[in-house]
Each structure stands twice: as C-alpha cells, then as structure tokens.
Amino acid sequence: MDRRAFIALSLALAATHPTRALAASDAQDVIALGGDVTEIIYALDQQHRLLARDATSTFPPQAQALPDVGYMRRLSAEGVLSFAPSLILSAEGAGPPEVIDLLRAASVDYVEVPEGYDATAISAKIEAVGAALDVTDKAKVLAEQTATALEMALARAKQTTGPRKRVMFILSTQGGRVMASGTDTGADGIIGMAGGTNAISQFEGYKPLSDEAASAAAPDVILMMDRSGDHASTDDELFSLPALQATPAAQNRAVVRMDGLFLLGFGPRTAGAVTALNRALYPPEPWHWPITCRTAASHGRGYSMSGWRWP
C-alpha cells in the first residue's frame, strides 16, 4: 500500500468513528477523585483530559500541578462544579453523600470505580476507568499487562522460603497508641500478596490496639507509610513504645516504610509494590533494618510498573 492510499484509508476510518476519536482525544473535562483513579488515568495516557484532581491524587508528580478540589471525603459541590466537568471519575467512598447526590444531578456523568484489594479488583478498576473514558481497548491492554506483572510478582512472592513473616501495618502511633490494620483493608491485602501474614486478624478495618494486644500479636516486621524524609529518630520512638518493645520486630528493629499510595493504591503499580514489600520482608542476607522503599519519580508516556528503588 502506498502512502497516499494509507492516508486515505486512515481518514476513512477516522470518519466512521468521529465521536470516538473526539471523545478519546479532545474533550478536556474530567475530574479525578482518588489517587488510584488518577494513576490509572495517567497510565492510560489520558491525562490531557484532566481538569482537576483531589488531594489524595499525588502520583505521578505531574498530577500535583492540576488544581486540587480538596480531600475526596469532604468535597464542596460548588467547588467541583466550578470546573464544569462533564465526567467525574471517583474512587469508592467519595463524599459527603449529599454532595455526591448533587454532583450526580448536575448533568455530570458520575462514575464510581469499584474498590477492592486483590488482583481482579485492580483489573476491574482499570477497565471501569477505561470504559468511562471511552478507551476500552487501551484499558484492556493495561489491565492485562498489570495482571501479568502482578501474577509474576505474586509467583515470585510465593517462592519465598522459610516461615511467613508476621507483619503489623501501623497507620499511626498518635499519643503512643498503635493504630493497626485488621482484615478487609488495603494493608491486609498487600501483606498477603507479598507473602506475609497480617499479625492482626481479630477485627476489620483500622483500630487502636491495646499495648498488650500489640505485644501478643508478636509481629516480626512493622509496616508503615513513609511520610517524611528523616526516620532515624522516629524508629527509636517507634520501638520504644511499650506496645512494641516486647515484639520480635523491635528486637530486630525490623520496620518497612513505603509510600502510602504506592503500597495501598491497588492500581497499575501494585505489582511493583508486591515485589518491593516481598523483598523488604525477606531480604537476601546480609541485611540491615530499617528499610525504606521509595517510588521512582520519573514518569512519562512509558509507565513504570515497578517504580521503586533500594535505599
């Protein structure tokens, strides 16, 4: 086929799908709520359609240049509508409910992306975002890539020899009280995927632990979100908590800190998070605690599946 014929054919094809071509490339009218949703939109290369994002959408770093409509659980109806979006793509649990009702009523397409903490949930999320943005084919490819990468990461994690490490995810240690993750949370999901065992299985969600319950849980490793640059003193503080002093984790000073959205986002980067957490939990000897995993900041059209590096 010569070049002219190719162009003619392309034009003819484009003419048969005018609406799709328009929807997929031109309209800049989407608001993303939820860090995972924003990540998926960037991974699908649809970021040019974003008008604004919420405060939890911090990755990739370019997303932070977009206007911020505030914390996704405390949205302002008028604030969101002031961007005149035609589509709001939201993670589950945006609120308050009255505001969401208003947004739904305001001639806006409001698509809620289902939440979930396993491999199928991630694929479902990506396909839901793809369907809402009318880039179903692209989403299918990304979902498959993500699933394959995750399968490989899970297979690698399964090869881990020796007893499974008991991991306690600590959300915060406000006032010396350990707020730990029970079952049915992102933390529980990622710990299981990375070949560990959640040390807390007595309750659902995040709850404060009594000092004795924390000691009795006897975690081998503490898992936390990486919030600041300097951890030297906070490790001392962490392991001097009465709740943790008697645990094996404190004796080995075993703590893993990872970026919260990377660790708990359950999006395209989760395969990387599984591998990073698995390696952090079962480090090749010799190893020195503590371990901090950082996500790679570089991000362009090519999407990094395992954006982490060793300290």
Partner 1 sequence: MALADHLPHSRVARARILHVWLALALILVSLFSLTVGATNVTLGPALWKITTGEALTRMEAIVLWDIRMPRLILGLLVGAALAVGGAVMQGLFRNPLADPGLVGVSAGAGLGAISAIVLAGLAPLWLSRIAGDQLVPIAAFLGGWASTILLYRVSTRRGRTSVATMLLAGIALGALAGALSGILVYLSDDRQLRDLTFWGLGSLGGASWAKVVAAGPIIALALIAACTLGRGLNGLALGEATAAHIGLHVQRVKGLAILTVAAATGAAVAVSGGIGFIGIVVPHLLRLCSGPDHRPLLINAALLGALLLVLADVIARVIIAPAELPIGIVTAVLGAPVFLWILLRQRGMVDL
Which amino acid, one-letter code, is at 153? A
Specify the residue, 33 or 154, whose C-beta has the smaller distance to partner 1.
Answer: 33
Name residues whose C-beta falls within 8 Å of residue 202's C-beta, 6 or more positions apart in sequence: 182, 213
Q: Are 281 and 256 in contact (CB under 8 A)?
A: yes
List the Cα angle 271/69/60 in 5-degree steps.
30
Does the N-terminal peptide bond of residue 96 adopt cis geometry, omega within 30 degrees of 0?
yes
DSSP H or E run through 229? none
Residue 213: how many other CB atoms lie within 10 Å: 16
The helix-helix angle for 270-281 and 186-193 (nearest 10°) equals 70
Please tell me whether residue 288 adopts helix, strand or coil conformation: coil
Contact call for residue 113 and partner 1 (CB under 8 A): no
Q: Are 200 and 223 in contact (CB under 8 A)?
A: no
Dihedral sign from CA coordinates of 186, 192, 195, 197: positive
Residues in the chain: 311
Give the 3-state secondary structure of 6-60: HHHHHHHHHHHCHHHHHHHHCCCCEEEECHHHHHHHHHCCCHHHEEEECCCCCCC
Specify the residue, 74 or 227, whose C-beta has the smaller distance to partner 1.
Answer: 74
The site string for partner 1 over 126-165 (x = CB under 8 A, - otherwise) reads ----------------------------------------
Q: Which stretch in 96-104, 145-153, 214-222, 267-275 sits in contact with partner 1 by CB under 8 A?
A: 96-104
Q: Closest distance between partner 1 and the C-beta of residue 127, in Å? A: 24
Contact call for residue 98 and partner 1 (CB under 8 A): yes
Which amino acid, one-letter code, is at 12? A
Name residues whose C-beta falls within 8 Å of residue 205's C-beta, 6 or more positions apart in sequence: 181, 182, 184, 185
Q: Which stretch in 14-22, 101-109, 127-135, 299-307 sits in contact with partner 1 by CB under 8 A?
A: 101-109
State the DSSP code for 198: E
Contact call for residue 93 and partner 1 (CB under 8 A): yes
Q: How many residues bind partner 1 (CB under 8 A)?
A: 35
Which residues face 172 on adjacent strands?
A: 179
Contact call for residue 102 and partner 1 (CB under 8 A): yes
Contact call for residue 114 and partner 1 (CB under 8 A): no
Contact call for residue 233 and partner 1 (CB under 8 A): no
Specify the residue, 93 or 176, whose C-beta has the smaller distance to partner 1.
Answer: 93
Q: Closest distance between partner 1 and the C-beta of residue 45, in Å? A: 26
Joined together, the tokens standing for residue 104 give: 């739904």
Tell which positions 240-279 bind partner 1, by CB under 8 A.
Answer: none
The site string for partner 1 over 196-215 (x = CB under 8 A, - otherwise) reads --------xxxx--------
Contact call for residue 71 and partner 1 (CB under 8 A): yes
Specify the residue, 198 or 247, whose C-beta has the smaller distance to partner 1.
Answer: 198
Contact call for residue 69 and partner 1 (CB under 8 A): yes
The site string for partner 1 over 166-195 (x = CB under 8 A, - otherwise) reads -------------------x----------
Contact call for residue 97 and partner 1 (CB under 8 A): yes
Q: Closest distance between partner 1 and the C-beta of residue 179, in Å? A: 11
Contact call for residue 218 and partner 1 (CB under 8 A): no
Contact call for residue 118 and partner 1 (CB under 8 A): no
Instruction: Give contact residues for partner 1 (rule: CB under 8 A).
Output: 52, 55, 67-71, 73-84, 93, 95-99, 101-102, 105-107, 185, 204-207
